[in-house]
């Protein structure tokens, strides 16, 4: 039986931080602030996978009060979500995500992001969708105050 999950995440853009999205470090004047590497794309995907199997969200599994996750690569969180799927005898069918960022240009990095996400989930890159859009200069994304990510996951679970 195929189950679906949804995930959403946002992190503020600040000076003096690296910008990491989908496990790719992107050269930019600002980076995302957060306890881990603040990879909003990996976080949204993690919540989508966890949601598909009815688990608690990433913030409860990996609290930002736990020093173990300080500056941690968010690939760890996605790998753990995938491990929980396998633990239930399940299989990730596909994932899809959209990034909302005014700057920088995301397109040149999409292939590398997909490869990283696919590796973390243990699925082929062809089962990973990542798109990017600007916010047409509106709202916090449009003012370049932050970057948002949305994701869905479909997971085949035994009855």
Question: Judged by CB under 5 A, does residue 109 bind Mg ion?
Answer: no
In the complex, minimum distance from the CB of residue 76 to Mg ion, in angstroms, rounded to a whole number: 13
Check if the beta carbon of residue 35 is closer than 8 Å to that of residue 69. yes
Output 9 or 102, the one with its CB closest to Mg ion: 9
- Give the chain's length: 159
Q: Locate 12 and state its tokens.
A: 């503020």
Range 42-61, binding Mg ion (CB under 5 A): 43
CA 6 distance to own-chain centroid? 11
Identity of the residue, 74 or 90, whose beta carbon is nearer to Mg ion in the bound complex: 74
The dihedral region occupied by 2, where left means phi > 0, alpha psi between -120 and 50, and beta the remainder, is: beta
Q: Does 37 bind Mg ion (CB under 5 A)?
A: no
Q: Which among 36-44, 49-57, 94-102, 106-114 is the span making contact with Mg ion, rule CB under 5 A?
A: 36-44
Query: To the nearest whole angstrom, how small is the minimum distance from the Cβ of residue 91 to Mg ion?
Result: 26
Sequence-separated (6 or more) residues with CB below 8 Å from residue 57: 47, 50, 51
Window contacting Mg ion (CB under 5 A); options: 9-17, 91-99, 131-139, 151-159: 9-17
Closer to Mg ion by CB, 32 or 92: give it.
32
Q: Does 9 bind Mg ion (CB under 5 A)?
A: yes
39 is a site residue for Mg ion (CB under 5 A): no
Q: Which candidate, 20, 84, 74, places its Cα nearest to that of 49?
A: 84
* Distance, CA of 107 to CA of 55 (rounded, Å): 32
User: Site residues (CB under 5 A) for Mg ion?
Assistant: 9, 43
């Amino acid at each position: 039986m195929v189950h679906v999950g949804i995930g959403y995440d946002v992190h503020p853009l600040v000076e003096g931080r690296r910008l990491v999205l989908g496990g790719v470090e992107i050269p930019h004047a600002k980076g995302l602030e957060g306890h881990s590497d603040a990879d909003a794309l990996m976080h949204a995907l993690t919540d989508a996978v966890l949601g598909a199997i009815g688990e608690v969200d990433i913030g409860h599994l990996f609290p930002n009060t736990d020093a173990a996750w300080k500056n941690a690569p968010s690939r760890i969180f996605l790998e753990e979500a995938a491990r929980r799927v396998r633990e239930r005898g399940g299989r990730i069918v596909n994932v899809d995500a959209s990034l909302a960022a005014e700057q920088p240009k995301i397109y040149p990095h999409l292939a590398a992001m997909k490869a990283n996400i696919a590796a973390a989930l243990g699925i082929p890159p062809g089962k990973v969708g990542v798109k990017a859009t600007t916010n047409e200069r509106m709202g916090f994304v449009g003012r370049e105050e932050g970057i948002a990510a949305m994701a869905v996951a479909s997971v085949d679970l035994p009855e």
